[in-house]
Structure 1
Amino acid sequence: MLSPLLRRAGVVVALLCVYALGANALYGLLFRNGYYDALIRLRDEGPHHLPGTTNPILTRYTGIGFLDKLLTLATVMFANVTDGSSPQLSLYSFHFAGQYLAILIVTTIEGLRRGNQSNTIRFFSVWACLMQATSYGCTMPLYGIFHFLTSPTAEEISPRLVEVVSTANPLELSTLSEAFTLGYVVPAVLMCVPLFSNRLHQWFGGLWQGSPIFAMLLQKLFAVRQAALQRSPHARPHTPNVYQPSSSKQQQSLAGGSLSSVLSTRSHEKRSLAKSYLFAFVWCILSQVIPLALIAAVYLRPSMFPARLSEAWTITNVFVPHPFWSTEKMESMATGMHDFFLYDQYIGSTGAIIWAYALYVNARERPMKARSWAKSAFVIVTLSLATGPAGAVVWLMWERDQSLLSRTAVSH
C-alpha cells in the first residue's frame, strides 16, 4: 500500500498532466484551428461585428480599460452561443453551464471550511474568476494541486480532519443555493433570452462573466440578513442559534463531554450541505438529461423540428470535438469555440474528478480494496453518463462530507 505522501504526490502529478493536456488542447487548439488569427483580424482589420453577424461589438462596459478588454473578448467568444446561429453549440453550452454551476458550488463549499480560512482556497470567487477569464480546463487542475499542497482538508482521515472540514461560515453555506440562483442562473437566462436589443444583449453577456462575484456578494448579504433575523427580538426565544461558530470556550466545553451539542450542530450542518449539494446535483441532472432528451426527440421525430435542428442536434455534433492536435482550420468561429468549450469541460472535469476522488478516498476509515476501487469507479462512470461529470464530483464530495460529519469523535 502506498504511503499518504506517495498518494498525494501521485494526485499532484496526475493533475499536472491534466493541466499540461489542457494547455495544449485549449490554447494550442485556438492557434492550430485559426481561431486566434480570426480574433486578431477582427480586432485589427474588422469589420468590428460579432462573429457571423452585422451587430457592432460593444467595447465599453465599466470604463476600466483592462476589464473592458476582457469583457469584449468574452462577448466575442460567447456571441455564437446565444445568437442561434449554431444550434449544436447552444445546446452544448446549456449542458456546460449546468455542469459548471455545480463545480462552482463545490469549490464555494470548500472555501467555507474551517481548515481553508488561512490559505488560497478560501478565496473561491477568485478561483472562479480565473476559470471565467482563462479556462475551467486549465484552472481546475491548478486548483486541485494548490488544494492538495496547502489545505488540511486534503489530509488522511483523523479527528483533526473531521474538525477542519466543518464550515467556518454556516450562515453563508445555508444561503448558497439562493445566492447562485440570483447571481449565476438569472444572468445566464438574461444572456440567452432573444428579446433584447443587441447592445443590451451584450451587456447581459458581460454581466454573466461576473457571476462568481455576484454570487459571493449575494451569499454574504443573505448571511448578514439571516444573522439579523436571528438576533431580532421577534425570533423564537428557545430556538438554538445552531449556525453561529463556536467560541474557544464553547469548543473546550464540547470537547469535555457535550456530545449531544456536537451531534446537533453537525446535524444542522449536514442538512445545509445536503441542500447545497442537492441544488448542484439537480442542475447536473437537468443539464445532462434535457440535451439528451432533445437529441433523442429530434432523432425519433425529425418532422416535429426544423431541418437545421435535425441536422445539428446529434450526439456527434453536440458532444464530440475535432481532434485538438489537428491542424485543420475551423469552419467558422462558432465551430472553433464549440471545440474549445468541449475540451474545456472534458479536461476540467477530469481534473475535478481526480481531485474529488482523492479527497473521497482520504476520508475513508478503511483502506480501499480492489472491490471498493472497482465499485467506486463504476459509480463514477455511471453518474458521469447519467448526470454529467460534475454530477460525479458532487456525489463524491457529498458522500465524503456526510461520512466525516457523521463521526462522533471530537478532536481535543
Structure 2
Amino acid sequence: MGGRARFVLSFIVFPALLSFAWYSIFWFARHNGLRELVKALVKERSLPESSGILRTRYTGVQSIDRTLAVLTVFFWPTTDGSAPSLSLHTFVFAGAFGSAWALILLESWRQGNARTLPAIASIFGLVAQLFTFAISASLYCGLHLWFSPVSVQPKPERIVAPETVVRVLPFIFVVGYIIPCVGVILPTPGVISVDAKQVLIALWQPFPGYVSLLAFVAHLLLPHRYSSSISKRIALRIFYSASFWLAAITHAVGWGVALTSVLLPALFNEKIVHALHPREVFGVTWPSSDFRVTSLAEGVHVFLQWDFLIGCHAVLLWAAVQNALAQRRITGRVNWFGLATTVVGCETLFGPVAAAVHLMRLRDELLLQPVVRKEIRSRLNKRSSEVVARRR
C-alpha cells in the first residue's frame, strides 16, 4: 500500500465519510425537526420527560453556558431510561466510543507521532463532543494516515509509547470516562436531584480533556525506568485487552438483549419488547426520507445511529489500513483475504471498534516481533555465556 493509496484514503475516502456524516447527522437533524425541538426546549428551559427546570448557568460565560444547556437537553433522553431503544443503543455506543478514544489517545503518545497533528488527541476529542464522533473520527483518521510518520513508514521504534502511560491508560479511562458515564445515568430524583444530574452531564462533556490531562500527569509524576521491548509489549497487550473487552462486552450485551427480545419476547415487559427489536435499536433512517421526529428521544436516537455507524467504521477502516501498512513493511505483501476475514468475523462477533482494536494489536505485534526476538536471543546468549563462565 503506497503513497497513492494513502492519498486516496486521506483526501477522498475519509473526506467523503466526513461529508456524509455532516449530511446524515446535522443536515438531517435540521430537516427532520430535531434541531428546532432542541432549540425550543432550551428557550423554554424545559427537560424532556421531566418536570425539572433546565439549568442555563454553569460558568458565567454565555457562549459556554448556552452550549452546555444544548448538550444537556440533547443527552438527557440518553440518560433517563425513558426510551428503551435509545438507552440500549447508547450503552453500545458508549463502550465503542470509549475504546475508540483509547486507541486515539495511545496514538498521541507514540514516539513517531511526537510534535505532529495526531499527538493532539484532546483537540479531536473535544471536536467529537461538540461536532459528533463521526466527524471527528473521519477527520482524525484521514489526517493521521497522511501526516503521521507511523503511517508513512511504520517502524518498531515509531510505535513505542512510554510504558508508564500505557500501563495506566486503562485506569485513566475508568476514572475519566467510565465512572462519569455511570454518574450521568443515575436515576432522578431517587438517587440524585435533577439539577445535580444536569451538572454531571455538563461535567462529562469534556472527558477527552480529562483523560489526556491524567495521562500527561501520570507521565510527569510516575517513576520512569528502562524497560525491555518484552515489557513494553506486555503493557500494550494489557491495554489492548482492556480496550477490546470494553467495546466487545457492550456490543455483545446490546445485541444479546435485542436478539433475545425477538427470540424470547416473553422475558420482557410488553410495553418495551417492540422497542428492543434490533431494527428499532440499530436500524437507521435515511436522510433522504420524509421522516419527522415526534419526540426528542426519537430524534436523538436517529442522530446517534448515524454518528455511531459512521464513526465506528471510520476507525475500523483506519485500523485495517494501519494493519495493511505494517504487513507491507514487514513481509513485503498484504494478506488481503486474511485481513478481510478478520475484519468481517471480528466485527460480527465483537463489533466494529473491538475489531479495530484487534487489528491495531496485531499491527503492533507484527512490528515489534523482530525486536522482541532479537532481545530474547540476546538474553539467551548472555545466559549461556554466564553458564559457561561459571563452569570454567
Specify the alignment match of 2:156 in structure 1: 162
SS in 1 for 2:286: coil
Contact between 1:87 and 1:312, CA under 8 Å: does it hold in 2?
yes
Letter aligned with residue 206 of structure 2: G
Matched, 1:142 2:139: yes
The equivalent of 1:33 in structure 2 is 32
- Give me the whole-angstrom Cα distance separating, in 2, the residues matched to 1:368 and 1:29: 42
Deviation of the 1:298 alpha carbon: 3.0
After the TM superposition, list the runs of 4 or more consecutive aligned residues in structure 1 that deviate by more than 6 angstroms: none
How far apart in 2 are the matches of 1:196 and 1:307?
Answer: 29
Match in the other structure for 1:257: none
TM-score (norm 2): 0.89
3-state DSSP of counterpart to 1:58: coil
How far apart in 2 are the matches of 1:351 and 1:220?
A: 27
**Aligned ranges 1:269-348 → 2 under 5 Å:** 269-348=232-311
C-alpha RMSD of matched pairs (Å): 1.8
SS at structure 2 position matched to 1:309: coil
1:130 alignment counterpart: 127
Following superposition, the deviation at residue 375 of structure 1 comes to: 2.3
**Structure 1 residue 78: deviation in Å?**
0.5
**Structure 2 partner of 1:366:** 331
2:195 corresponds to = 199
Q: How many residues align?
A: 367
Mapped partners of 2:90, 2:36: distance in 1: 23
The residue identity in structure 1 corresponding to 2:7 is A
Separation in 1, partners of 2:144, 2:325: 13
Match of 1:15 in 2: 14
Aligned to 1:235: none
Residue 273 of structure 2: SS of its match in structure 1?
A: helix
2:384 aligned partner: none
List alignment gaps of at least 5 residues for structure 1. 231-240, 244-264
Secondary structure of the corresponding residue to residue 57 of structure 1: coil
Q: Is the 8 A contact 1:11 1:355 kept in 2?
A: no
Partner secondary structure for residue 59 of structure 1: coil
Q: How far apart, in 2, do the equivalents of 1:363 and 1:283 lie?
A: 25
Q: 5+ unaligned residues in a row in structure 2: which ranges?
A: 375-392
User: Cα deviation per residue 1:47-99 (whole Å; 9 max; x = unaligned)?
Assistant: x2112332211112222332222221111111101112111000100000000
TM superposition shift of 1:225: 4.3
Q: How big is the shift at 1:405?
A: 1.4
1:224 CA drift (Å): 4.0
Does structure 2 retain, via aligned residues, the 8 Å contact 1:114–1:163? yes
TM-score computed with the length of structure 1 as normaliser: 0.85
Matching of residue 180 in structure 1 with residue 176 in structure 2: no
State the SS of the aligned residue for 2:291: coil
User: In 1, are the aligned partners of 2:180 and 2:200 still within 8 Å (CA)?
Assistant: yes
Native 8 Å contact 1:32 1:326 kept in 2: no
CA contact (8 A) 1:380 1:392 kept: yes
Q: What is the distance in 2 between the residues matched to 1:386 and 1:336?
A: 28
Amino acid at match of 1:7: A
Secondary structure in 2 matching 1:55: coil
**How far is the alpha carbon of 1:24 from its aligned partner?**
0.7
Q: Which residue of 2 aligns with 1:226?
A: 222
1:304 Cα deviation (Å)? 3.3
Once the 2 structures are TM-superposed, how far is the Cα of residue 368 of structure 1 from its aligned partner? 3.9
Match of residue 93, structure 2, among 93, 96, 102? 96
Higher relative contact order (CA 8 A, sep 6+): 1
Q: Please state whether the residue corresponding to 1:289 is helix, strand or coil.
A: helix
**Counterpart for residue 358 of structure 2:** 395
Query: Does the CA contact (< 8 Å) of 1:175 and 1:223 recur in 2?
Result: no
